[in-house]
Amino acid sequence: MREGPDIARIASLVGDPARANMLNALMGGTALTASELALEAGVSLPTASSHLGKLMEGGLLTVASQGRHRYYGLAGPQVAGMIEAITGVAEAVGPKRVRPGPRDGAMRVARVCYDHLAGEQAVAMLDRLVAKNVLVRDEQEIRLGPSAASHFAAIGIDVYTKPRRPVCRACLDWSVRRSHLAGTLGAAILDKILAEKWARREKDSRAVIFSPPGKQAFEKVFLS
């Protein structure tokens, strides 16, 4: 009985278990095919297709056709942010998790959040970059500091190729309740971490596992 944006429509899209599983899987950041998402959600292919259609129509997903594959991905950072917010509430009010599970600890330490690193490691990294004045925090926006270009160039990341998306963005962490670095720079750093094989993605999970030498290298570069 009240005007305004149709929040029930969006929430009900997320409110179906199959769709929620799909969205959760897509929070890993990589686009997935319909079959992969069907498997992830535990439903048949036709069912998954129907769900994907609804998510598309609702504007939560984008799709890229490549040959006979269709890669589905989250429509954007705002959608990812909403899902993190819902996850935060579910985490808080949820039935006091019976057993945290082995993955869970790893998820808190480091995980993929859409296209960048999240978790304690990521929060520590942003803190350090701000403390070193490489990045400057101002309001919700994070900006490049004076030494940013040289700092990142030294480790092979070019911050000057300006894309449509903002280079830096703050993203609130549901496990730590503080911000970590998102945006293209955050994405580039995650790429670097994986490319250097400092860490690997846990199979079928968003957890990111650092190898002992990889952790040292990461700390040397970003936390020193």
Partner DNA sequence: CGCATAGTTCGTTCCCCATCGAAGCATTCT
Partner DNA sequence: AGAATGCTTCGATGGGGAACGAACTATGCG
Provide the sign of the torsion angle of the four alpha carbons 219, 151, 129, 189, taken in this order: negative
Residue span 79-118 as binding mask against a second copy, x where in contact by CB under 8 A, dash where not: x-xxx-xxxxxxxxxxx-x---x-xx--------------
| Residue 141 DSSP class | E
Q: Would you count residue 201 as binding a second copy (CB under 8 A)?
A: no
| Partner interacting with residue 101 (select from DNA, a second copy, none; CB below 5-8 Å by kind) | a second copy
DSSP for 29-63, written as a single string: SS-EEHHHHHHHHT--HHHHHHHHHHHHHTTSEEE
d(CA 215, CA 224): 12
Contacting range for a second copy; rule: CB under 8 A; set: 15-23, 181-189, 194-202, 216-224: 15-23
**Taking CB within 5 to 8 Å according to partner kind, which of DNA, a second copy, none is near residue 88?**
a second copy
Strand partners, 179: 172
Q: With beta carbons less than 8 A apart as the criterion, state whether 182 and 169 touch.
A: yes
Q: Where are the beta strands (DSSP E) in the chain?
A: 32-33, 61-66, 69-74, 111-113, 116-118, 135-138, 141-144, 169-172, 179-182, 199-201, 208-210
* Single residue of 65, 67, 68, 140 touching a second copy by CB under 8 A: 140
Round to whole Å and give the CA distance between 46 and 201.
29
- How far apart (Å, rounded) are the C-alpha atoms in residues 115 and 27? 8
221 binds, among DNA, a second copy, none (CB under 5 to 8 A by kind): none
Query: Applying CB under 7 A, does 50 fall inside the site for DNA?
Result: yes
Question: Residue 48: which of a second copy, DNA, none does it interact with, CB under 5 to 8 A by kind?
Answer: DNA
Least Å distance, CB 19 to DNA, is: 8
> What is the DSSP code (8-state) at residue 207?
B
Residue 73 touches a second copy, criterion: CB under 8 A: no
The contact pattern for DNA, residues 63-102, with x = CB under 7 A and - = no contact, is ----xxxx--------------------------------
Q: Which residues bind DNA (CB under 7 A)?
A: 12, 16-18, 33-36, 43-54, 67-70
Q: Which residues bind a second copy (CB under 8 A)?
A: 1-17, 19-21, 23-25, 39-42, 58-60, 75, 78-79, 81-83, 85-95, 97, 101, 103-104, 127, 130, 137-141, 170, 172, 177-179, 204
